[in-house]
Structure 1
Amino acid sequence: MAAIKETVMTLEERLLYYQLFCHYYRGDMLHFGSAEWKQLGNILTEYKLAKLNGEACKAIQCLEEADAAAILAFEYDYNRLFVGPNKLLASPYESSYRNIEGTVLQQETLKVRNFYHHAGLQVADEGQMPDDHIQFEFELILHLLIERDDQLYKMFLEKHLLEWAFEHCARIMKNSSNRLTRTMAILLKEFLHSEKKMIEGEDRC
């Protein structure tokens, strides 16, 4: 009998990727050198997503091969996309994608806040920064995965993150020429596609 290929990511791998993107959007990787990017790529290569998804595999190889020019321009491009001070080219806030005006601190932000409260969480210094920043959404998912609350985890993905994060990645690809920001967008997109398939029951052994 032919072996059945395992395609569903383990909890360990999900935690790894959500931690990675949480650190990324928190700015922890802004001062990585080539050695750190290569080490990250080496770690990700050992996991299932790299072995089963061609786009993710190519993205991880780009991390391993990050050159001096890409690293030098990374912080500038990261700020243009996610931080400011000018108009954000790929806003990291859910509300930017889910209301007609594309503005933050709207009804969508309050819905995310209420979801945090329902899960027993609250953003530190609530009200100082919009609750629907993608970093906070990743932190919530990490908490739910660790607590093994599959119902709330899947509900949050379906009602929130998966409703806007693909467009977020598309804006990064449209507005960035930096190898690292584009590579991380591809990796996020492919990871979330895997999550979406898992939720929809399309990715089964």
Structure 2
Amino acid sequence: MTSTTINWISISGRLLGSLFYYAPDEEKVRSVLDYFQQNNWQAEWLGLKNPEKITALLNNTAHLSVQYQTMFIGPNALPAPPWGSVYLDKESVIFGDSLLKLRDFLRHHQIEFVRLQDEPEDHIGLMLMLAAYLAESRPELLIEFLRDHFLIWSSRYLALLSAQQDAPFYQGLALLTQETLDYWQTCLAIEIPKVQFYR
């Protein structure tokens, strides 16, 4: 596990996580959105395979608050729910068994979440930011977390999100995140266990 990899997981996890977790009109998101409007961000982004397509989608920020509302808040059913247990639990519910396993992992390693709302810890944005935190502070736990609690479901969620043509910015974010997670997985030589998805 090189320092370059650790540093990149920290940076990319925080940037991507904030875009999934926080509403686009929040102050902390504006600087991240500005980053992706720069002409040369693609040159700095490790593991990028489809920069033109992703950039075109990320540049589609018209009605971004509406896109966010549709993908993450409701009131209608979310086309791609952002919580891991929806995909891993037989009942397709939030607060499912996989979340309890994640909580056991966090408790065992004395990691506490500070959340702004009563959000299940397996939200895609929180998981990306947790990966960043582990890279910075507890790198010895990073592979276990990614292998057992995050990468086992993230690809299913991101595939569903990348199919949402009514939310082009989040389509692009999903594609960028999948390419980034693929890069993490390759760098860390993680073999992801096969699981059944229930959604």
TM-score w.r.t. the length of structure 1 is 0.77
Work out the percentage of aligned pairs sharing the same amino acid. 21
Q: State the distance in 2 between where 1:76 and 1:121 align.
A: 34
**Where do 1:45-124 residues align within 5 Å?**
45-49=42-46, 53-55=48-50, 57-59=51-53, 61-62=55-56, 66=59, 70-124=60-114
Once the two structures are TM-superposed, the CA of residue 180 in structure 1 deviates from its matched residue by 1.0
Q: State the distance in 1 between where 2:45 and 2:117 align.
A: 38
Once the two structures are TM-superposed, the CA of residue 80 in structure 1 deviates from its matched residue by 1.6
Count, aligned residues: 187
Once the two structures are TM-superposed, the CA of residue 181 in structure 1 deviates from its matched residue by 1.0
Higher relative contact order (CA 8 A, sep 6+): 2
Higher Cα radius of gyration: 1
Instruction: Tell me which stretches of 4 or more aligned residues in structure 1 moved more than 6 Å.
Output: 31-36
**In 2 relative to 1, CA 80–155 (structure 1 residues): closer, same or farther, beyond 3 Å?**
same
8 Å CA contact retained: 1:169, 1:186:
yes
1:38-95 residue CA offsets vs partner (Å, 9 max, x unmatched)? 542436324252xx5331x22553267x2xxx32322222222222222111111010
Once the two structures are TM-superposed, the CA of residue 126 in structure 1 deviates from its matched residue by 10
Paired position in structure 2 for 1:189: 178
Task: State the superposition RMSD in angstroms.
Answer: 3.1
Q: State the distance in 2 between where 1:25 and 1:38 align.
A: 15
**In 2 relative to 1, CA 31–59 (structure 1 residues): closer, same or farther, beyond 3 Å?**
farther
**Are 1:132 and 2:127 matched, yes or no?**
no
Q: Secondary structure at the match of 2:113?
A: coil
Letter aligned with residue 36 of structure 2: L
1:163 to 152, 155, 170: 152
Q: State the distance in 1 between where 2:107 and 2:91 align.
A: 26
Q: State the distance in 1 between where 2:120 and 2:23 align.
A: 19
**In 2 relative to 1, CA 127–31 (structure 1 residues): closer, same or farther, beyond 3 Å?**
closer
Where structure 1 has 5 or more consecutive residues not aligned to the other structure, the ranges are 1-7
Paired position in structure 2 for 1:19: 14
Where structure 2 has 5 or more consecutive residues not aligned to the other structure, the ranges are 192-199
Bigger mean CA deviation after superposition, 152-161 or 124-133: 124-133
1:99-120 residue CA offsets vs partner (Å, 9 max, x unmatched)? 1221111111111112122232
TM-score w.r.t. the length of structure 2 is 0.79
Paired position in structure 2 for 1:40: 36
